[in-house]
Amino acid sequence: MDYASLFRLDGKHVLVIGAGSGIGRESALALAAHGARVTCADRDLVAAQETAGSELTAYELDVLDDAAVERAAAELDPVDVLVFTAATNVRKRILDYTSEEFDRVVSLNLRASFQLIRAFGRGMAERGSGSIIGFSSIRGTTVEPGQSVYAATKAGLVQLLRTAAAELGPSGVRANAIAPGVVETPLTAQIKANKGWYDAYAQKGALGRWAQPSELAGAVVYLASDAASFVTGSVLAVDGGWTAVDGRFDPPN
């Protein structure tokens, strides 16, 4: 076993969806640094091009468009590793939620994920190998007021990926979820703008701070690589200890 190259991705084509910003952008750069040929896909083509620079490939993709997803699967084939980070959230109490808001969050966070797994998983299964990596959240496990629909989609994504692992595993395809804690991304800008809210979240985890998007990239590289060749159907928490620590009171010795 060549352990020195365990995390190398030379010869692999990786598609990162949501590569225009945040975790997706850092994941694309980290995967490329480990030798992968990376396609940076995003609904915002300009943002994807900024991530891609002169070394990587940019691709415009709206994951809410089923035909566009199928077209991408055909045009980009073969894709050895699929990473998707795109998500949205509407922070409202259940009784204040509208049906339109519910549909909007579920459509992007869950339905689009289903379509991506189907479109790209098919080719992986036919070739006999592949890695699918989706982004869940601590909200797939722990909840708070105002996170109902987002939390439901993130928990649902875990079960969707676990089922994909079970169904595609015999064909050599792995499927896993990464569950970040609080990360400074455009999705959490609303929280960062409120110091009390921001500080409360920072104090909840064991490390006492928020994560930067780059701190999720290592988990993506790991699950994409042969270092995780026997890892499938799993949820990798990268949450600074959020789900491990109660965090509400530090009792005296």
Quick one: what percent of the chain has pLDDT higher than 70? 99
Does residue 120 lie in a domain region? yes
Does residue 2 lie in a domain region? no
| Nearest-5° Cα angle at 184, 7 to 174 | 35
Residues forming beta bridges with residue 183, ordered by sequence position: 211
| Rounded CA Rg of the chain | 18
pLDDT attached to residue 253: 77
By annotation, the residues acting in catalysis are 150
**Residue carrying structure tokens 């965090």:** 247
| Nearest-5° Cα angle at 237, 234 to 239 | 170
The sheet carrying 13-17 orders its strands as: 57-60, 37-42, 13-17, 81-84, 130-135, 173-180, 235-238
Q: Which of 184, 186, 185, 164 shows the shortest CA–CA distance to 176?
A: 164
Does residue 147 lie in a domain region? yes
- Cβ contact 178:238 at 8 Å: yes
- How many C-beta atoms surround the C-beta of residue 235 within 10 A? 16
* CATH code, domain carrying 11: 3.40.50.720
pLDDT attached to residue 1: 85
Quick one: what percent of the chain has pLDDT higher than 90? 92
The structure's pTM equals: 0.95
- Cβ contact 147:190 at 8 Å: no
Q: Which range among 50-59, 179-188, 215-224 shows the weakest confidence by mean pLDDT?
A: 179-188
pLDDT attached to residue 186: 81
Does residue 119 lie in a domain region? yes
| Range of the structural domain that residue 87 is part of | 7-184+213-238
Does residue 189 lie in a domain region? no
Does residue 194 lie in a domain region? no
The total number of structural domains that make up the chain:
1
- Cβ contact 187:146 at 8 Å: no
pLDDT tens for residues 163-205? 999 999 999 999 999 999 999 988 788 888 999 999 999 999 9
Does residue 88 lie in a domain region? yes
